[in-house]
Amino acid sequence: MEENKNIQDKINLFLEENRINVKGGTIKDEKQLSLVLNNLAMSDYEKGKLEKALYFTESAAEFYEENYYSYYIKGLVLRKLAKTKEAIDAFEKYCDNSDDSDDSLAHIYLGLSYAELDDAENALMHLRTGEKNISDEEKEKNLLLICAVYECIGNIYLKRENIVEFTEHDKYSMNYKSAVRYYKMSLKINRLNSELINRLAACYYHLEDLNKVLYCYEQAAKIAPDNAMFKDAIKELKESGVKAESAGF
């Protein structure tokens, strides 16, 4: 009985010190408080109050150590604070311990975080796990995030060309083709990205498909009409007799 009183006193003191008003009942145990702190942390994260959100996620884990969702929120906050390595630790803690079968978003954020650290292997593993398993509902709710995922995967494949042996033509082409695939998936969500279209044009150039290169530059020029490089490329290709062919985005 005394132990219960001490726990309740601890909860009440925390609520009072942090000016948290609970509506619709009384918080009677630490697990319940921990789950409430999840909600507060997510709310502050969405409002841009990152330090406060971080404090609530850490408090949530202290009150109930099996509240692994708090680590997912903590990872989101730490990414916003540009603390990438710490964010990775938080997301991995969530993925390793959560019973949530749909942890696709955590894998996606893990992949993006690893990509920021130039860890291509781990980035690809988590990004592809996330985008493969994410539900249609979650994908629709997070279209811009998914768009960034496809672009990031494409960038990783494009960057791989720095390390392949160029005498192995099939391997050389494979990475460009993979980059093309993911760039097009990104552009189908948001085609108003002239720099991404420029990278897609570079892929088609290396694949020796100049008709699609011209198409890409024409589309990029519509988005960024003042870009002289796009204009010059279009002029040069047309003067060489190249005819634009749709790249399928």
Answer yes or no: is pLDDT of 169 > 60.
no
Q: What pLDDT shows up at residue 10?
A: 83
Q: Work out the angle at residue 95's Cα, subtended by the Cα atoms of residues 90 and 99, and round it to the nearest 5 degrees.
A: 125
Determine which helix (DSSP H) or strand (DSSP E) holds 140, and give its type and residue range: helix 136-141
Q: What percent of the chain has pLDDT over 70?
A: 92
Residue ranges and CATH numbers for the domains of the chain are 1-82 (1.25.40), 101-190 (1.25.40), 192-249 (no CATH)
Q: Does pLDDT of 102 surpass 80?
A: no
Contact yes or no for 109/88 (Cβ under 8 A):
no
